[in-house]
Structure 1
């Protein structure tokens, strides 16, 4: 039996894909190479390069188009297909947000490092400050969890009045992501 919600499902998929596209622009615009190549292997620059690779991967990985055949007619088949596309779009947006937040943390690290170095190079007098900067980056990256991102995106969607009745669970998103790990 058709439930009459396919219009909402279509709109939700459109919102998710639009959000994902916006995130991809931000991810692609982030720097990946330091001005001084001596800094290439430092933690923040390594994180920025990994984010760029992760962003490219989530953009390029194939959608799961295996949708089971339903017996309820064209409306039910459309419902099943929309639910599959919904999960795909939702998980991509989730991963894009995670990458974006990791990039933002790494870009703050770059700014902090530049403030510490004041145009100079690392030396024994600023080693402990630079180590603290690295520790701060690691602490920030540790807070960027699937659960935190899921909650943040869910709250944002609800505050915008978006239809979230059939959004996948955080576990479903994690399963989707694990299935696409390189």
Structure 2
């Protein structure tokens, strides 16, 4: 009877270990998927920003330096996303956000740009992409948080340590990076 009980407890422990391992694998892959979703949107933005800049060039006499900074920031965001450098991504995102703020200021300064259907469509698309990227960042951080909490819970921490499941870094931004952009100030630079 004791042997049967011992085998029963061993079977329960083995089933629990398999279930915990599978849950941790799922969480790890959700973090990777969440980051991949951010990469997809960054690539879309990377591809669409040149079109927006070209329209700006055609319909305004916007300062060339701002357009160049937007394009450089766009490249930096894309490179940071590809290298999965969370800190560089945050810094590059700030530069890009400032440049896009300057472009929005141009829209305010040149009302005829708003009337242009092509420009309006591209501006709406960029705005939609920015909103979606923000949502994906939140999903990424949620996925990271779920993973990081789970690998610290007992008894799951035993399986996590045994099989090398580790924490992921949250995508964080400083207060300066998350503050509202003063578009008027950016346009005066």
- Class of the TM-score when normalised by the shorter of the 2 chains: 0.3 to 0.5
Q: Which has the higher helix share?
A: 2
Larger Rg: 2
**TM-score, scaled relative to structure 2:** 0.35
Give the TM-score of the pair, scaled to structure 1.
0.36
